[in-house]
Amino acid sequence: MEACVQDAKAWLCDNGLMMNNNKSQAIVIHSCSQRTPTSLTRVNICGQLVETSPVIRDLGFNVDANLTMTSQVANVCRSAYYHLSRIAKIRDSISTTVCKSLIHGLVTSRLDYGNAILYGISNSHMHRLEMVHRSAARIVRQFRRGDRQSMTTILRQLHWLPVRKRIDFKLPVLVHRAIYNGTPEYLAALLGRHTPPRSLRSAGGLLLEVLTFCTVLPEISCKGLTIQYYVVL
């Protein structure tokens, strides 16, 4: 792993970038039932020991050690409700068009940012995001929580997809771009067309292969230290 960090630093230097060792973070991703191995509490990054953290921030996205996205969902909801409360105070003084622009710029943009990585999160986390989305719709339509209005109807009138549907829509868009445009390359390299062993009707269905991976690799002993590597998908 340290050799990979050195290679990454060399690549950055070759491309006019620099790795800041003081701002580097390390995280050990594992299942909820698996405790963090004591041998991986520190990582040597270019000669500097970095303590592993239960939550790290990468490109504005919070990633926790169990990949439950609890920290990310909590951060998005907290920020969204803050902006919604401020927009609600001036809702009577602005038009619907202006209100939509404010909500799209301050709230729904946060719900959509990096939402593809939220696929498969628990129903409780998804419900929290849905409640934020519904609160935004009520402010636009100037409905109160106690009003007997169908949220499905309100979202359809606003032409807003629910949060779960927005995530489901983002994934096919990324797959389509990766297949036909080849971008991003790291996703295009993981996608393979399904080729049946014999002539079948499914051959023209533009299906993809379901790749299989080994999630646990054998243990490696080095100088009396046993390390078990995990591949997280």
pLDDT digits (tens, 9 = 90+) for 48-106: 788 888 888 888 889 888 889 999 999 999 999 999 999 999 999 999 999 999 999 99
Query: What does pTM read for this prediction?
Result: 0.76
* Torsions phi, psi for 111 (to 5 deg): -70, -30
Please answer whether residues 54 and 42 qualify as being in contact, where contact means their C-beta atoms are separated by less than 8 angstroms.
no
Task: Return the pLDDT at 81.
Answer: 96
Q: How far is CA 212 from CA 204, 208, 215, 217, 233, in A?
A: 23, 13, 9, 14, 10
Taking Cα atoms as reference points, which of 99, 115, 110, 109 lies closest to residue 173? 115
Average pLDDT rounded to a whole number, residues 4-24: 83
Task: Return the pLDDT at 218.
Answer: 46
Range with lowest mean pLDDT among 141-145, 156-160, 200-204: 200-204
Which helix (H) or strand (E) covers residue 61, if one does? strand 61-64
Average pLDDT, the chain: 82
